[in-house]
Amino acid sequence: MSWQATVVTLFPEMFPGPLGQSLAGRALENGVWSCRTEDLREHGLGRHRAVDDTPFGGGAGMVIRPDVADAALAATQADATIPCVYLTPRGRPLTQADVRRYAAGPGVMLLCGRFEGVDERFLQARGVEQVSIGDYVLSGGETAALVLLDACVRLLPGVMGSEQSGVEESFSDGLLEYPHYTRPAVWDGHEVPEVLLSGNHAAIAQWRQAKAEETTRERRPDLWSAWLARKNENRTAAVGGAAQADLRGLRRIPT
């Protein structure tokens, strides 16, 4: 059974968009994943199929009505085990761990907001996850939905040509990825680091690890702190495990 992406949006024509090309597009054609849209406007109210209304308490902008959002959600008839995700700058940051979780399941349902967002009562009542792709504001959730889907689809079995590519890239182990170089060996007076031409795989791996750590420390101190904390936890656990093994060995020594 293919991985199922369901998108509730006012602009269904935006999907699959760029995901109909390249690796994701081939996977879509081959049935590795599917992309279905639910037009929010079809569940609008009145002659003009209104999907929004003015916010209680005043303020600029409009808010998507909870009854309209709920009708669209029900119309998808999506599997209850599929997480429903609302793309919003108010959400928690999307991480690679989230992406792996979504990709490992049967699929994901994405709710694309517009205007000032969606009525909070609907989000709370239906247990919708609220996720942000960054600290900036877009015109709507469609672009963010494409980002999330791209991140998920590339992790599906058989989509990427090399499984190792997914293992070594940024965030897979909590660090940013090391820099890459290709031919020519000298370009515009700039040379490729000598170690990468040495053929010494152990030295290359060591250089790449050092560069990943250096880049993460300089550019993402939040990731660096988290990585150090996990490293220390693993070291403590390893020491504790070794100590327990030593104690078990001592108990077996005959007297």
List the binding residues for S-adenosyl-L-methionine. 113, 133-138
**Which residues are part of a known binding site?**
113, 133-138
User: Which H or E element spans position 123?
Assistant: helix 120-125
The answer to whether residues 71 and 44 touch, using CB atoms and an 8 Å cutoff, is no
| Residue labelled with tokens 């000298």 | 186
Phi, psi dihedral angles at 221 (to 5 degrees): -60, -25
The answer to whether residues 65 and 45 touch, using CB atoms and an 8 Å cutoff, is yes
In angstroms, rounded to a whole number, what is the distance separating the alpha carbons of residues 200 and 51?
A: 62
User: Which H or E element spans position 229?
Assistant: helix 221-251
User: Helix or strand or coil: residue 176?
Assistant: coil
Q: What residues contact residue 126 under an 8 Å CB cut-off, 6+ apart?
A: 70, 73, 84
The answer to whether residues 51 and 10 touch, using CB atoms and an 8 Å cutoff, is yes
CA distances from 69 to 59, 157, 200, 242, 243 (A): 21, 32, 57, 55, 56
